[in-house]
Amino acid sequence: MNTKYNCKALSSFSSCSNCKIPSIVGLSLPNWVLELSIDAMETFQVRHDDVYVNTYPKSGTHWMLEIVGLILNDGYPERINRTAWSSCIEMIDLGINKIPKTRKEELANPMIMTPFLDVVERAPSPRVMQTHLPWNLLPPDILQRAKVVYVARNPKDVVNSFFNFLGHTRAFGNASYDQVVKAFIHQEYNFRYGSWFDHVMAAWELRDEDNILFMFYEDIQKEPVKSIEKVAEFLGRPLSEETLQRVLEKSSFKGMTKTYREAKEKATKNGEADFTVLDVMKKGTSGQWKERFTVALNEDFDEWFGKKMKDTDIRFDFE
């Protein structure tokens, strides 16, 4: 592949002389994604019992990971092997690295760029892995050998969650909320993982393939039982009523918060790598964009969304 994806300085809305413009139009990746891991996807050994959770960032990745893990382990979070969970397959090994929040921290404690792919390759089967890579960068035989659960979320909540997650870091510099939303719409600067529309539509076009399950974040929220049963059927692991209720309870926001807190406490006590290294859980609700979008910003967004979606049959719930 030999394309240059990685920005060696932390991505921001200011110019970066070290940023490499990828050959795939409109795609930029954060600095903790390794170019060598992207290149390795072409020959990555996919196992027949692999399960991939593929999403555009901030679309319910860890939620679906938990649901899948619980289904495969009869609803018991303590039985889940989380070896391949602390990072996406394309990232550095975040489980053993402290992410710097300031330039001073970055200089004092430079990140060791260890491929998380090395961890994934050694992980025992069945592997449950997360990735934000667009479809054309995933292993070419992934749908012939593995199962993929793709989760899509309405783009207003996606960009709102992006701002919640990175808005106070150098990733967005001093950009205002409106500037971040407009950058998301127009793919300005280096918005991470490129176009939301392209990412989602590539998976949507494959939705009828046997080994991909396309899910909507909002549907999982509104009909969790039906959604869990759908994932379980896709994985070939039908659930008893008792197990279903355990999965439902443990994959709720309250249940996951408890699981992650206990895992973090255990990792700290034992000096182990912590799969909860990123503060990925916020409120777990939809519609928060309404608290921030101005009338003008909403009109701009709806105009963009309407143009992008006019020739598609995919529908999103913004409530």
Which sequence positions are flagged as catalytic? 132
Amino acid occupying residue 109:
N
DSSP secondary structure code for residue 296 in this structure: H
Q: Which one, of 5, 208, 47, lies nearest residue 141 by Cα?
A: 47
Strands, DSSP E only, in the chain? 51-55, 128-131, 147-152, 212-216
Three-class secondary structure of residue 54 per DSSP: strand
DSSP secondary structure code for residue 47 in this structure: -
Region for residue 143 given its phi and psi (left: phi exceeds 0; alpha: psi -120 to 50; beta: otherwise): alpha
Q: Write out the DSSP string of 184-239.
A: HHHT-TT-BTS-HHHHHHHHHTTTTSTTEEEEEHHHHHH-HHHHHHHHHHHTT---
**Spatial distance between the Cα atoms of 24 and 139, rounded to a whole number of angstroms:** 16
Contact in structure between 303 and 310 (CB atoms under 8 Å):
no
